[in-house]
Amino acid sequence: MIQTQKPYRRLLWSFGLLALAMSIFSVALAHQYGATRPTLRDDSQGRTHAAKIHQQTVYLTERELATAFVAHAIAILSMAVFLGVLMKSRFSNTTRTGTNATNLSL
């Protein structure tokens, strides 16, 4: 095994698993909100934020909306970091072995 891949392996696994877990959590949260939240606005309970989930509009509280936003953001950011580390490990590997980017095996 080439020495440059070792430092990236742990980062790849960490961010890959984080991206997978947060994606699953984010989708499950959206499904739960779509199935259990009211379809009518209720200002007395703070359900003022409309969200369209599976062709149905449900009303969320500010905290529920923030939770969904943060879960989606973490999932997207961890995917981006995962892809960035993957590309960096691939291209740093090619510079050490003397191959160019057009000869990479997938």
The C-alpha atoms of residue 96 and residue 9 are separated, in whole angstroms, by 17
Mean pLDDT confidence for 22-50: 96
Q: Which pLDDT band, with edges at 50, 70 and 90, does 67 fall under?
A: very high
Q: Where is pLDDT greater, at 4 or 56?
A: 56
The C-alpha atoms of residue 26 and residue 73 are separated, in whole angstroms, by 9
The predicted model scores a pTM of 0.74
pLDDT higher than 70, residue 97: no
The C-alpha atoms of residue 59 and residue 53 are separated, in whole angstroms, by 10
CA distance to 1, 17, 57, 60, 68, per residue, from 63 (Å) = 48, 26, 17, 8, 9
Strands (E), the chain: 49-53, 56-60
